[in-house]
Structures are given as C-alpha cells and as structure tokens.
Structure 1
Amino acid sequence: MAYDRTAMLKLLRPAMTRILTPLGRALVGRGIGPNAVTAVGTLGTVVSALLFFPLGQLTWGALVITLFVLFDLLDGVVARLGGKGGSTWGAFLDSTLDRVADAAIFAGLILYFINTDDTLMAAVTLVCLAAGTIVSYAKARAEGLGLTADVGLAERPERLVVALVAACFSGLGVPYILPVGMWLLAVASVITVGQRVVAVYQQTREK
C-alpha cells in the first residue's frame, strides 16, 4: 500500500511504528485490514471534532482527535503486517478520508467560533479549511499530470499540529493561542497554495 507522508511524519514513523506494531499485529490476527482502520480513524475524528469543538470542549476534542489521527499511522502498520486491503484502492481511500477528517476538524472549530459570536475567527478558520483543501488538490492534480507539487509551508501534518495544539492549549486557558494559530495557519496555507501553483507553472514552462 502506497502512503504519501511528509517529512514530519517520516521522522515520527520509526518510533510510532514500534509503539503501534503490537496493536497492528493483533488487528491483523483478527482479520482486520488497513481500510477498516482508516475508516474507524476518520469516523472517530469526524464525530469528535463535530461533538467536542462546537460545545467548547477544545482540550478534550484535541486530545481525542489526536488519538484517532494515530490511526493514520496504524493503517500503514496493519498493511505492512499483511492486513487485507493494502492496495491502490486502499491508498485512494486513505487520501480521500484524510480530506474528510481535515474538513471535520476545521468545521468543528468554525462552529465553535460561531457559537461564541466570533464571526471574524469563523471566517479565518474557513480560509484555513478552503486553502488546506486546495493545497491537497493542487498536489494531487499535479501528480495526475505527471508533475510534482511537494513544496509549501503548511502541508497536512503541519496544519493538524497547529490546529490541534492551539485548540488544546486554548481549552486550558492560554489566551489568544487559538486565534493566533488560525491566523498563522490561514496565511501559511494561502502561501502554500501559491508556492504549489508557481512550482507547477515552472515545470510546465520547462517542457
């Protein structure tokens, strides 16, 4: 099964793989494949984000979502240990459900800001959601055309880390950290879109 990871996850993978291998082996022994793990991780992320964040339970939401985000690594462990579903279809499903999970996280934060009457931050977080989607689409579309678009300040791991860490500490009472995090993420995501557009443009000019 092909998994596309950025540098951050590649650095974390060896340690996380050692931690998750016993659980992965147990799942394989029960006939559970990586596609099922991916689906459970996404479902858990979506439910957690849309339940905890709108209710203002930012810290609990961030912690529970982080737990389910680990399924993004566990599905790879299960695939390597021989779980059913490690295939091109599995890679497609994994990438697609990643987008669903990301959308749910930012949608939950948008609902939180709406519920707290912070229209400006709801709009900023909406920019994070939209720009993040475009960042992922630009890379996928470039690869579909035989090009590459791996550049950028804010790829998926960076977006998740900023959003979840900011939400977690905001829930603990750290002032301004969530608005600052969303502003930084919005700017970085828009810049990343521009970087990928420029990268693809330069490659097309070279042909």
Structure 2
Amino acid sequence: MTWTGAFGKGSGWLLQKIVNGLAISKISPNALTFIGLLINIVAAFFFGFARGDHAVRYFFYAGLIIIGAGVFDMVDGRVARQTNQVSVFGAFFDSVMDRYSDVAIFFGLLVYYARGNRLFYVGLVAFVMTASLMVSYTRARAEALIGSCKVGFMERPERIVCVILGALCNRWNVMAPALWVLAFFSTITVIHRIRYTYLETERRKALAAAVR
C-alpha cells in the first residue's frame, strides 16, 4: 500500500469513528451543519481582526478553524445516513448554510482588506464572493431545468481548499494569488455551466421538435 493510500485509509477510519460517536450522541445532522456555520463565522472574525504584526498568526488560526469547520461539513451527511435521518430538507438546509459560510469567510477577508485601505482587494474579494455564489446558483437553477449540471472545476471543496492554503501560507502573501485563482476559475465555472445549460436546453428543444 502506498503512503497516500495508507493516509486515506487512516483518515477514513478516523472520520468514521467521529461519525459513530456523533451518531451515538443522537445529535441532529442539521445541528452539525449549523455548528459548521458558526465555526466559519469565528474564522471570519479572525480574518477581519487580523492587523499588523499579528495578521499572519490570525490568518493561520483562521485557516485551522476553517479546517475544523470542514470536519462538520464532512460528517453531517454521514451521520444523517447512519442514523436514518436523511431528508430533502436536510439537503436544502446544508446547501443554505454552505452559502452563509462562504459569505462569512469572504466578508471577513473583505473587512481585513478594507481596514488596511487596500481598496483593490476589497473589490477583488467582493467579486470572488459574488462569483462563488453564482457557481452554486447556476448549478441549482440549471438542475431545476435540466436535471443535472455538475460541470465546472471550482466547486465548494476546491474554493475552501484554496482559501485554507491562502490563510495558512499568508506569511508568504499567498492569499492574494489565491483570490486571483478563485476569481478566474469561479468565473470560468459559471461560464461553463451557462454554456452547458444552453446546449442542453437547445438539444432538448430539438428532440421535442423531432418528436412532433
């Protein structure tokens, strides 16, 4: 077995132990989802209050906190399945809380750059926040029309990983290029989903016309 395979197996084992413990506690999966949001809000405060000599340390803390929130994001669905609490509302609630978590994190960064009078990056963070929401919205809206729209690279896990890397490595000013990566690939993903939905709706229109 390779070391990456061993790491994956070990991580899966640990995650399952956490899920087992949470299942025994009978905590609601929706409560776990909400706790994940609260943890991300704490990370946003660390971003927002980062200033001067402690900025690098606060960014590092924020990155670690987002990783912690990610654990709740990974276990809520597993707990729901293991305790037979899977529901349509649960999926909806999880999606809504994810959007709030995204906004909280980017709002924290927006406050950080605003306090430092870096207006260009205030605009960049605002753009990334908007693009991230549009990635999710275009998929949700497309799937209401065509059933499935999973195309595009910059999904939420990729966005979160990018933010975490930027936060943990901001000693070397990595957050700024991370934001550029998010802005570019989120925009490409939105365009990809718009094009895919257009082509799929046109294909269905053509099939319907052929049937007539």
TM-score by length of 2: 0.84
Aligned-partner Cα distance in 1 for 2:41–2:180: 23
**1:200–1:96 distance in 2 versus 1, CA, 3 Å:** same
In structure 2, relative to structure 1, the CA distance for the partners of 1:127 and 1:203 (3 Å cut) is same
> What is the distance in 2 between the residues matched to 1:72 and 1:14?
19
Q: Which has the higher helix share?
A: 2
Deviations 1:135-166 (A, max 9, x none): 10010111111343211131111111111211
Gaps of 5+ in 2: 1-6, 51-57, 205-212
RMSD of aligned alpha carbons: 1.8
Residues 146, 200 of structure 2: 8 Å contact kept:
no
| Equivalent residues of 1:128, 1:185 under 8 A apart | yes
Which of 34, 50, 54 is the matching residue for 2:48? 54
Percent of residue pairs bearing the same amino acid type: 34
Structure 1's consecutive aligned runs of 4 or more residues displaced over 3 angstroms after TM superposition are 12-17
Which residue pairs with 2:167 in the alignment? 167
Give the deviation of 1:16 after TM superposition: 4.3
Alpha-carbon distance in structure 2 between the residues aligned to 1:24 and 1:148: 29
Superposition pairs of residues 54-203 of structure 1, within 5 angstroms: 54-56=48-50, 57-82=58-83, 85-170=85-170, 173-175=171-173, 177-203=174-200
Structure whose CA Rg is larger: 2
How many residues were matched structurally? 191
Please tell me the residue identity of whatever aligns with 1:53.
Answer: F
CA gap of 1:169–1:142, structure 2 versus 1, over 3 A, is same
Name the CA distance, whole Å, in 1 between partners of 2:11 and 2:73. 11
8 A Cα contact 2:63 2:167, kept in partner: yes
Q: 1:80 to 1:14 in 2, by over 3 A?
A: farther
Give the drift of 1:87.
0.9
SS in 2 for 1:152: coil
In structure 1, what is the Cα distance between the partners aligned to 2:88 and 2:175?
37
Higher relative contact order (CA 8 A, sep 6+): 1
**Within 2, Cα distance between the matches of 1:142 and 1:91?**
17
* 1:45–1:202 distance in 2 versus 1, CA, 3 Å: same
- TM-score, normalisation: structure 1: 0.86
Q: Could you tell me which amino acid in structure 2 is paired with residue 141 of structure 1?
A: R
1:21-67 residue CA offsets vs partner (Å, 9 max, x unmatched): 22222222222121111111111112321x10011111101111111
Inter-partner Cα distance in structure 1 for 2:10 and 2:165: 20
Instruction: Return the letter of the residue paired with 1:62.
Output: G
Q: Distance in 1 between matches of 2:144 and 2:110?
A: 32
Distance in 1, matches of 2:96 and 2:9, equals 24
2:36 is the counterpart of 1:38: no
Q: Indicate how the Cα distance of structure 1 residues 198 and 15 shifts in structure 2: closer, same or farther if over 3 A, else same.
A: farther
Q: Deviations over 1:145-196 (max 9, x none)?
A: 13432111311111111112112110xx213x11111112111111111110
